[in-house]
Amino acid sequence: MKILVTGGAGFIGANLVHSLLEDGHVVGNLDKLTYAANPDIEALFPPSERYVLYQTDLADYEAVRQIFTQFEPDAVMHLAAESHVDRSIDRPGEFIQTNITGTFNLLTIALAYWQALPPERKESFRFHHISTDEVFGSLGEAGLFHEKTPYDPHSPYSASKAASDHLVRAWKTTYGLPALVSNCSNNYGPYQFPEKLIPLMIVRGLSEDSLPVYGDGLNVRDWLYVEDHVSALKCVLRNGKVGESYNVGGNSERTNIEIVQTICDLLDDLAPPQKVSRRRELIQYVTDRPGHDRRYAIDATKIRRELDWRPVETFETGLKKTLLWYLDHQVWWKNILETRYAGERLGSVAKIG
């Protein structure tokens, strides 16, 4: 297939592009290359007969339209987004621009492109929108997010993703665009930008800097290794039913403090600390994230039952792989810390900066 991936230079996108190329697909990667893009993307995926990078902003309607004309995709997998909750607290405007207006542009262009396709290609075309479990809001001690859980987003990030999900569904219902949506829980693994909890704790832990845990550390997230998310995305694109949405998760709920303590202990084994006796001593409880959702947990029964998808990694195996990857790729993340983001606290004040 010729697959146009948006956000293919980001964390999940780069893992997806790698896997699609391995499967033999032709991939167009539409990415603005923001701060969050993998700085090695051009070396990682050199241009070839089966791969092209389009450095383009979703806001640039005409440029995106031309990419559709040139590349002629059989499917679109839409991952491009501003993705970090803390940054959305500081600067929500970019989230509205990319996640809502950018998705609107993409949908408008994809619809016109799809309407002009010959019947056979029109029948098989798919628009797959990649979204998050954060659109469902926050759970109490019990319960899980189902596909039918009402939307209740709380952060500017999740509100912008919820808006984009609604737009995609409206384009299916109103105009017939063959769209599917998937909503996934927290990912972790290779190439995750070190602003997110797991890589931030790894890189700060390796440098033996303080490890900031928001609030009481008892917020719960449901973790999935990125390659398992990639396999779910391919499964939804291949076998998902048009108009449906699929929740994706690894059934791996953990409190934040459990995660940070586990990373400390694993790092102590792999790279014994020099400045402290145990890295757990570096943990610091800091002011909570404004509007911090308490608990996320996914019920992935539908994708398991209907599409026969299952994760391969447990949280323990996935985390070990991730730690080893960051240990082996110190040049990659040190370059990011030096040039793009030094690991400072983001989004701590509910005030637009």
Residues that bind ligand DAU (CB under 6 A): 83-85, 132-134, 185-186, 196-197, 200, 212-214, 219, 221, 256, 289, 296
Cα separation values, 284 from 27, 213, 215, 279, 317, Å: 43, 6, 10, 11, 26
CB of 141 within 8 A of CB of 89?
A: no
CB of 268 within 8 A of CB of 233?
A: no
Q: How far is the CB of 204 from ligand NAD (least distance, A)?
A: 19
CB of 6 within 8 A of CB of 80?
A: yes
Q: Which helix (H) or strand (E) holds 247?
A: strand 245-248
Q: How far is the CB of 108 from ligand NAD (least distance, A)?
A: 15
12 binds, among ligand DAU, ligand NAD, none (CB under 5 to 8 A by kind): ligand NAD
Structure tokens at 141: 């001690």
137 binds, among ligand DAU, ligand NAD, none (CB under 5 to 8 A by kind): none
57 binds, among ligand NAD, ligand DAU, none (CB under 5 to 8 A by kind): ligand NAD
133 is catalytic: yes
Residue where the block lists tokens 């797959």? 128
Structure tokens at 115: 């309407």
102 binds, among ligand NAD, ligand DAU, none (CB under 5 to 8 A by kind): ligand NAD
Q: How far is the CB of 186 from ligand DAU (least distance, A)?
A: 4
Tell me: does residue 193 bind ligand NAD (CB under 6 A): yes
Q: How far is CA 48 from the centre of its chain?
A: 26
Near ligand NAD by CB under 6 A, which window of 129-137, 166-174, 271-279, 292-300? Answer: 129-137
Catalytic hit among 113, 157, 191, 296: 157
Q: Residue 259: name the closest of 299, 305, 212 by CA.
A: 212
Check residue 225 and give left, alpha or beta (phi > 0: left; psi -120 to 50: alpha).
Answer: beta
Residues lying near ligand NAD in the complex (CB under 6 A): 7, 9-13, 31-34, 36-37, 57-59, 79-83, 98, 102, 130-132, 161, 184, 186-187, 193
